[in-house]
Structure formats: C-alpha cells, structure tokens
Chains A and B, each alone.
Chain A
Amino acid sequence: MHLCPTTRIPRGLPQTIGLARAVFAIAAISTSARAVIALTAPSTWARAVFAIAALFTLLQVDPVLAQAGTETGWINTDRTQALVLGIILTGAILLYVVLASAGRPLFIRKIAGLETVEEAVGRATEMGKPILYVPGLNDMDEVQTIASMNLLGHLATIIAGYDSRLHVPVRKSLVMSVARETVQQSYLSAGRPDAYQEDDIHYVSDAQFAYAAAVDGIIVREKPAACFYLGGFYAESLILAETGNSIGAIQIAGTARPPQLPFFVAACDYTLIGEELFAASAYLSKEPRMLGSLKGQDAGKGIAIVFILAGSALATLETVTGSESVRAFSEIVLWLFR
C-alpha cells in the first residue's frame, strides 16, 4: 500500500495575517462565485481557463480568511475547509436559484423512468387497480425521505387527475403525518379533495421486516398496477421488488442508498440512481427555483471534477519529478480538501 501525497498535508497553513489580506480573500470568494457560473454556463474554453485560474487564486488566499476566524477562537479549525467549500457550494446553488427565479431559462436532461410515471398511473386507472407508493424505511430526519415526500406530492397530483386509488403504507409515523399532509394538499390543488382517503396512508410497524411482510401482503392481495419505491431502502428492497414483479406491476424505484441500487436495477422497470432521486422533484415540478438549485448541484460536480483532475495531475507530477516545489504547490491546492 502506498501513501497518497494528500495524507501529508497539514491542517491549516501558517499565516501572517492582516486585514488587507482578509479583504482580498473575500474578494477571491466573489471571484470564485463568478468562476462557478463561468464553469457551468454554456462556455468557451477561455472562460473555463479563467474559472480554474480564479479558483486557484481563491485557494491560495482563503486560508487567510479561515485564519481570521480561528484567531478569535470562533471557528472550529478542523472544519474551515468544509466551511469554505460549503460557502462556495451553497453560494453556487443560491446563485442559480436567484437567476432562475429571475426568469433565466434552464435546461434539464431527461430522467428515464419519470417519463413513464403518467403512463403507469393511466394504466392503473384503466385496469381499475390501485397504485402503491412505498416511501422507504427512513424517518423524516433523512433528506431522501423528504425528497420522496416531494415526489409523492407530484405523483398524487397526477393521480388525482385520474380516478385511481393511492395506497401508501409507511414504516415511520412521522412519515405518515407528512405523507397525509402532502397528499391531501395535492388532491386539494388538483380540485379533488373528495378523493382523498386518509386511511390509505397508514402506519404499519417500525420493525423493518414486519413492514416488509405487510407490504408484501398488500402487493399480493391488492395487486397494484404500479409500484413506486422511492426513498431510503435497505434489505427489503428486493423482497418488495420481486414480489411486485411476480404480479406484473410496472415498477419505478429510486434510492440514495447505494447498496440497494443493484437490486432495484435488476428487479424494477426503471431506477432513479442516487442523485437522480433528488433531481426528480425538480424535474417533475419544472419549478424555476428547483431547476436553479439543480444547476447549482451541477456546479458542485464541476468543482469536484476540476479538483480531482488538478489534484491527480499535481500528485502525478510530484511522483514523477519528486520536486519539492511541486509538492509545496500541490499542498496549497489540496489544502481545501485537507
């Protein structure tokens, strides 16, 4: 096992601190925000080069900003990098949210699976069969459950337009509360408040397999035409998906729990992979602010890719040349990632 050069990087660099440099650091942050825009907008190579250069400038300078915090003893020094990156990422997301709500048009690529949602609902209505929605096993303290609730809201709006029954068994009582609020709201906004059945959204049991056993029971007895599994899933993913498959339901799944993705991919018709689950509600709602935030996420990926490339290139250069100055430079660049 060899050691990566990154493991040698000290946390925080020694600094001489001055107010002027702190001001410069703030200026650098705003430069970086512009760099992020440049990176993700339909751009030319020149703009990309400018962006990377600006980011590097930022990296060289922003330890100063961090130092300004630590000198007064307010900031947890181990987390300065996270703070700086957090500001950059959230800044990028907010920026696009603002731009999008100001009316800037945003493109979003197709997400396979979501296209078929309406078709699945239509089929259920035709066959006179219910639709099953499983919001995963996690409680409301997981962000993917919240994402799932958003999707449930969109789905319920579509379902309200047809005349199908929506069945939502849940494992956590908090999720039940939220699901009821969400679905009721959707039916209301679709002008079908009478179609809302509170008892169709119900708590089963907190125990994972008691829940799986009960949902399996629902699947084989009610024979839903479409099954949605969206949220945080564990081992029961395949129990549910295989049972759903055995009755011939259209199945659309999505989770941000990587271990369960292979089973959904194998047993379902469509699977939203990881981040696609979070992107789905923006995709379905087409709400500008949601799309803007999605664009901000892309900026984050852009930053990750740029740094992975830069970091690997510098590490490679260092390995090949063994030069001290390359090492010193790469330490500055890699400081942001500890």
Chain B
Amino acid sequence: MDVTLMLWIDAALTLMILSFLYRDNPFYKFAEHLFVGVSAAYLMAVGFWDHLVPNLLGKLFPSLMSGVVPGAVGRSPDYYYLIPAVFGLLLLTRLIDRWAWLSRWALAFIVGGAAGFNLPRFLDSDFIIQVQSTMIPLVVLDASGNLLWGASFSHVVLVLGVICGLVYFFFSVEHKGVLGHVSRAGIWVLMVTFGAAFGYTVMARISLLTGRMEALGAWLGSIF
C-alpha cells in the first residue's frame, strides 16, 4: 500500500480522535463508529482463521480442511470436538428470540468452567504463594551477624503492611478499637500503593502519546 496514503489516513484518524479532547464532534463520531465496525469484524476474522479453523473445523473435518490446516491431511476426525461445537452453537441461539433460553446451557458451561478454573489457580498463586512470600524474618543480619537496619525495617514494613491491609478487608467485624486503628493503617498502606501505582503509570501514558506524536511528525515531515 502506498506509504504516503497510509501516512495521511493515519494522521487523519489520529486527529479525529484527538479532537474529542476539545469536545464531541462529527469527526470523532465518524472515527468512533468506523473503529467499532472495523475492530469487531477484524477480531472476528482473526478468531475464525486462527482458532476456529485449525482447532475445531480442522479436528472435525480434517479432509475438508486439508488445504487450509497444516497436518490435517490423512487425519481422522476427532469427534470429541463435537462438544465445544454444540455448546458454541447453543450460544448462538441467543440471536433467535424463541430459542434464546438454550444459550443458558452454553453460559452455564462457561461460568462453571470459569469457577472451576479460577478457584484452584487463585488459591495457589494469589493466596498460598503470596502468604508464603510474606513469611520473612523481621530482622536481617549480614554474614558476620550484624543487624542490617535498613533491610530489617523494609521487612517489618512488608509484614505489617500486608497484615494491616488484610484487616481493612475484614467485613464481618466492626472496625473500631484496636481493629479500627489497624484497619486505618491498612488504608494508609493501600493509599501508598495507589499513589505509587498512579505515579508509575503516568510514564506509560506519556509514552503512548509520544508514539502518536511521532506518527504525526512523520506525516508533517512528508508534507514539508
């Protein structure tokens, strides 16, 4: 595709979106609606060719797909894949009002799968390992047995920080008395976390804008 044409399209679309910063306007509306249409179809096409064809059609009808799916030649059909095919089709009944209730079967499959999939995964990675990583000594000594003040302080901050944070999330007890103080300290820890994450992220956002400005710069460069 012509490079200059690409630069012009790129710049035009960029400016249309940026115009939203001033106020809503027809250019933004056009870009927004174009984006919705193109992106929905794009992801659908990529999903179809990269996943549905090799992993479903290629498994169910290998001979039919031999031209498109590598390694499909001579393979016998794998009928287990009728299961996802049926659930997938059930999902589409949502488009027909009379049969829409059948799509609940597919939803049940997905929701049940989500629950079964996530429960052990979060238990392992986000509960057990996170608790374990917090079981650290509150004092740190160097090789010759002297106390390292800085490292020890950091460890105390981590352990107490996690505990205070957890106390903030207690729902079934009133946060008053000692628990109230601990929970308040927990909010402070969370606020440091939020502040840190916010400050850290500003950088990411600026780099995105830098990327866009460079693209606009390339377009301006092609004009002058």
Query: A-side interface residues toward B, CB under 8 Å?
Result: 2, 4-6, 40, 79, 81-82, 85-86, 89, 106-109, 111, 139-143, 146, 173-174, 177-178, 181, 204-207, 209-210, 213-214, 216-217, 220-221, 258-259, 261-263, 265-266, 273-276, 279, 283, 291, 294-295, 297-298, 300-301, 304-305, 307-316, 318-320, 334, 337-338
Contacts and interface: CB of A to CB of B under 8 A. Distances in A.
B40 A307 contact: no
Interface string B120-162: 1001100111011111111111000000000100000001001
Contacts of B2: none
Given A261-B194, A301-B170, A305-B167, A141 B134 contact: no
B139 to A, nearest CB: 6
B139 A319 contact: yes
B51 interface: no
Shortest beta-carbon contacts, A-B, top 4: A311-B135, A207-B39, A337-B132, A315-B137
B181 interface: no
Interface string B95-120: 00000000110010011011101111
B36 A301 contact: no
A217 B24 CA distance: 8
Interface in B187-213: 190, 193-195, 197-198, 201
Contacts of A143: 114-115, 118
A316 B139 contact: yes
B75 interface: no
Given A177-B103, A274-B169, A206 B40 contact: yes
B135 A79 contact: no
Interface residues of B, number: 67
Contacts, number: 200
Interface of B: 17, 20, 23-24, 28-29, 31-32, 35-40, 42-44, 91, 94, 103-104, 107, 110-111, 113-115, 117-120, 123-124, 127-129, 131-141, 151, 159, 162-163, 166-167, 169-175, 190, 193-195, 197-198, 201
Given A82-B123, A213-B36, A275 B169 contact: yes
Interface core residue of A142, A214, A312 (most chain B CB under 10 Å): A312
Given A143-B115, A294-B171, A308 B39 contact: no
Contacts of B123: 82, 85-86, 89
A320 B31 CA distance: 65
Given A143-B114, A214-B36, A338-B129, A86 B171 contact: no
B170 to A, nearest CB: 5
Contact of A217 (B23, B28, B138, B193): B28
B172 A298 contact: yes
Contacts of A307: 131, 135
B39 A276 contact: no
A139 B117 CA distance: 14
A81 B128 CA distance: 9
A220 B193 CA distance: 32
